[in-house]
Amino acid sequence: MHNHASCHGMQNIPMPAGAKKIVLVGNPNSGKSVFFNAFTGLYMDVSNFPGTTVEITSAPFGNDVIIDTPGVYGISGFNDEERVTRDIVVQADAVINIVNAVHLERDLFLTQQLIDMGLPVVVALNMMDEVRHNGLDINVSELSRQLGGVPVIPTVAVSGQGIKEVKAAVATAKVGRALTGLNARFNKVEAMVPDHRLALLVLEDDADITATLQVAGSGEREAIYRERRERINEVVAKSVKETNKGTRLGITLGRLMVRPLTGIPLLLATLYGMYWVLGVFIAGTVVGVTEETIMLGYYEPFVHQLVSRFVDLASPIGTILAGEFGVLTMTVTYVLGLLLPLVLGFYLMLSILEDSGYLPRIAALVDRALTSIGLNGRAVIPIILGFGCVTMATITTRLLGSKRERLIAIALLAITIPCSAQLGVITGLIAPLGARFIAIYFLAIFTTFVMVGTVLNKTLPGKSTDLLIDLPPIRLPRLNNVLKKTFNKSYMFLLEAAPLFALGALIISVMNVSGLLVAIQDVFAPVTVGWLKLPREAATAFIMGMVRRDFGAAGLSDLTMSSAQVVVSMITITLFVPCIASVLVMFKERNWKEAAVLWVSSFAIAFLVGGVVAQFII
Amino acid sequence: MKLADMKPGERAKVTRIEDATVRAQAIRFGISEGSEIICDEVIPAGPVIIRRGLMQYAVGRNLAQHIEVTPQVKHLQRKERKGRAHA
């Protein structure tokens, strides 16, 4: 289990001698990362917290070091994020607690827990601009008084308001007023656990801390939580006034989004809108310019010319560098000309969905459907993210409540969900074929999705958790925030995809030059030609697909095929093995055995389903 | 009465949450035994959407069947009066 209870875990964070640890703590979506970025310059360190896949960013902050933590609702050790936050917080010299001003009742639980640990705290009361829109009036000085004099600073982080003040207030961070009932409890454990912070965690029955310190928990977690909840409700009652019921439009819209009668058409319209933007506009119009005109029209001829000055283009080196699958030609054309526009488009739409508060409502709407495959509504978030990048989505399955749900979601992602780049290529190829072929493709993938989910739900032991989420108010996303998110995520995509693509191109080119490619095509001919009824060159695309599925789909787009063949090849490549990055993440998040089983099953399922469809339509 | 049996517009007090982990999670979110809640929406065979104070939550159907609530009669009557007035 996790034995990094108190002193381990932070050795990866560079700490100059005498530097204080200033820790940023807050609920998910409280705007923590905006503060972190505002406080720090370009220089930051990203380290992986030992024993977890949780990434921790830290950066110099004057003479001190500021450390960002994952978003959590409390420090209860319910998941890796909470455990990591706990292990960092217990060593903090000061805590900047980012609180969503609109959700004080929820967010102050964590604040009070930090105060109860005896940590010096500064509270940044973020999203103050939305407070009035939501019909609230917060008495900031009263809130600070209620918390025992902890500095409370109103901020609007996205527009930079209050950041300076928070920075200045770090020096005045103060230990607030702990729950009154805690003193007597502390006395009981003081002899065994002199450290106040750890003592609170022991009182709250933290499994890891009690195990490491070899003491028994007090069995009082719930009593303490309830006292804390009552105290917070009191604090909120004394410092917040409700002036009206908030924005009518937002409330009405929120309602329409969850009622099936209006919610389902709205969801379908949203998905259709995304399909149109990605599959029709970007994959057609935009990529027509970026790939055809710019990359194939100008860039590749330029590279050919450049390379031919040094080596013969027909030589092995020339082929590897600038041939059909060349590292300098195909990789760059695919990544920049084809995939980047699609990825930008996807993340733009995803950021809008995220920031508008629509995603949790989709989760509520589809909860019922997902329970039949052993998931709850929350799983819709990794699934939608999977349409962006399966690798990233696999990491976000952590938000699911149980191991079995994570496994089901990861399997569905690995086997059935095409990522944005792949989806773009696929929609671009299938859209012109007409309704019948689109329906066949959709039906094949959907049936596989339901079958994989149902089989896993029936066979995996244990019980799935139920939906319990909060629904944030519906709001208009801010353009600069949406754009920033889009560019950051797309940039991360480039960083990750480009080397893998180059590697894939290299492997294919070497195989091509050595004659191995033709040999493999021959070996696989019974499958590709006999069973899937595709051209034998399709085998090359499948090999490319092992590196990345979108890479494979792009490879298929170069072949001359009939409409039915296109559909079969697209079904097969959609269900095909997850990309190298996804496999690595699966391996990290789960274990090699599960990753291997998933890889082999997705290989088998792809050829099985593709072949069955081929028997009917070709 | 179970939370799952509530109808939109009804008010109730949470009296019992069965599962200990869910109970702890709910307390952190803002709902504890004794909290007064309002039912906002019921998605047919799906989650119940409730409001407490300024926060809105979606509670899965199965979970809602394991949460015991007591209807708050006073508010119910007011709601009914309003309903009749509309009719």
A364/B46 CB distance under 8 A: yes
Owner of token pair 């310019």: A289
* pLDDT-based confidence at residue A277 (cuts at 50, 70, 90): confident
Residue A522, min C-alpha distance to chain B (Å): 52
The pLDDT-based confidence of A489 (bands split at 50, 70, 90) is confident
Q: Is residue A13 over pLDDT 80? A: no
Mean pLDDT of all residues in A405-418: 92
| pLDDT computed for residue B87 by the predictor | 37
A437 has a pLDDT exceeding 80: yes
pTM more than 0.90: no
How many Å lie between the alpha carbon of B76 and the closest alpha carbon of chain A?
20
Look at residue A340 in the predicted model and tell me its pLDDT.
87
Q: Which pLDDT band, with edges at 50, 70 and 90, does A495 fall under?
A: confident
For residue A4, what pLDDT band results from cuts at 50, 70 and 90? very low
A506: pLDDT strictly greater than 90: no
The alpha carbon of residue A82 is apart from the nearest alpha carbon of chain B, in Å, by: 13
Chain B residues with CB inside 8 Å of A110's CB? 28
From B60, which residue of chain A is nearest by alpha-carbon distance?
A467
* Cβ–Cβ gap B63/A106 under 8 Å: no
What would the two tokens of residue A2 be? 């996790």
Show which of residues 11-40 on chain B sit within 8 Å of chain A, judged by CB atoms: 20-30, 32-33, 40
Give the separation between CA A200 and CA A221, rounded to whole angstroms: 10
A153-179: average pLDDT:
93
What count of CB pairs under 8 Å joins A to B?
120
B28 Cα to chain A: minimum distance (Å)? 6
Of A102, A134, A222, the CB nearest to B24: A222
Q: Which pLDDT band, with edges at 50, 70 and 90, does A486 fall under?
A: confident
Q: Is the minimum CB–CB distance between B83 and chain A shorter than 8 Å? A: no
| Higher pLDDT pick, B12 / B87 | B12
Nearest CA in chain B to A366: B46
Q: Is the pLDDT of residue A444 over 90?
A: yes
Q: How close A246 gets to chain B, by Cα (Å)?
A: 10
In sequence order, which residues have a C-beta less than 8 Å from that of residue A484 and are 6 or more positions away?
none
CA distance A519 to chain B (A): 54
Mean pLDDT value across residues A597-605: 92
Judged against a pLDDT cut of 50, whether residue A6 lies above it is answered with no
Cβ atoms of A370 and A400 within 8 Å: the answer is: no
- Asked whether the beta carbons of residue A364 and residue B20 sit closer than 8 angstroms, the reply is no
Residue of A nearest to B20 (CA): A222
Contact between B27 and A225 using a beta-carbon 8 Å cutoff: yes
pLDDT recorded at residue B84 = 47
What pLDDT, on a 0 to 100 scale, did the predictor assign at position A11?
Answer: 58
Q: Which residues of A touch B30 (CB under 8 A)?
A: 105-106, 109, 229, 470
Q: What pLDDT does residue B81 have?
A: 47
| Span A534-560, average pLDDT | 83
More confident residue, B54 or A503: A503
Put simply, whether A103 touches B (Cβ < 8 Å) is yes
Helices A538-547 & A563-575 angle (0-180, nearest 10): 30
For chain B, the average pLDDT equals: 83
Q: Which residue has the higher pLDDT, A478 or A187?
A: A187
Percent of chain A with pLDDT over 90: 44
**CB proximity A73 to B under 8 Å:** yes
Where is pLDDT greater, at B4 or A524? B4
Q: How confident is the model at residue A390 (pLDDT cuts 50, 70, 90)?
A: confident
Does position B82 have pLDDT exceeding 70, yes or no? no
| pLDDT reading at A303 higher than 90 | yes
Chain-chain contact of B43 with A221 (C-beta, under 8 angstroms): no
In this predicted structure, what is the pLDDT of residue A247? Answer: 64
| The pLDDT of residue A37 | 81
Tokens 């039912």 appear where? B39
| Interface probe, candidates B28, B51, B63, chain A, greatest A C-beta count within 10 A | B28
For residues A614 and A134, the model is more confident at: A614
Helix/strand/coil (H, E, C) string of A77-117?
Answer: CCCHHHHHHHHHHCCCCEEEEEEEHHHHHHHHHHHHHHHHC
With 0-12 CB in 10 A as exposed, 13-18 as middle and 19+ as buried, what is A187? exposed
Over 50: is that where the pLDDT of A7 sits?
A: no
Write the pLDDT tens digit of every residue in B9-37: 999 999 999 888 888 888 998 888 888 99
- Give B85 to chain A, closest Cα distance, Å: 22
Place of tokens 């709910």: B26
For residue range A191-203, list pLDDT tens digits in order: 888 899 999 999 9
Q: Is the pLDDT of residue A341 over 70?
A: yes
Nearest CA in chain A to B62: A466
Per-residue pLDDT band for A460 (boundaries 50, 70, 90) equals: very high
pLDDT band at A579 (very low <50, low <70, confident <90, very high): confident
Residues of A whose CB is below 8 A from B46: 260, 364-365, 367-368
Q: Does B45 touch chain A (CB under 8 A)?
A: yes
Write down the ipTM of this complex: 0.84
Query: A81, A614, A471: which is closest to B58 by C-alpha?
Result: A471
Would you state the pLDDT for residue A43?
63
pLDDT of residue A2: 38
Mean pLDDT, rounded, of chain A: 87
Percentage of chain A beyond pLDDT 70 is 95
- The three-state secondary structure class of A300 is helix
What's the pLDDT band for B85 if we cut at 50, 70, 90? very low
pLDDT at A12: 66
Find chain B residues with C-beta within 8 A of A469's C-beta: 57-58
Least confident segment among A296-305, A330-339, A408-417: A330-339
Handedness of CA A536, A540, A542, A543 (dihedral sign): positive
**What's phi and psi for A204, nearest 5 deg?**
-90, 15
Average of pLDDT values for A471-492?
Answer: 80
Give residue-wise pLDDT tens across range A19-48.
Answer: 899 999 998 878 887 888 888 765 666 665
Q: Which two tokens stand for residue A201?
A: 């965690």
Q: Is the pLDDT of residue B76 over 90?
A: no
Give pLDDT, residue A49. Answer: 60
A412/A405 Cα distance (integer angstroms): 11
Whole-angstrom distance, CA of residue B32 vs CA of residue B38: 14
CB distance from A207 to chain B under 8 Å?
Answer: no
pLDDT surpasses 60 at A367: yes
- Other Cβ atoms closer than 10 A to A264: 12
The answer on pLDDT for A1 being more than 70 is no
Closest Cβ–Cβ partner in B45, B47, B53 for A105: B53
For residue A281, the model assigns a pLDDT of 86
Query: Does B73 reach chain A within 8 Å, measured CB to CB?
Result: no
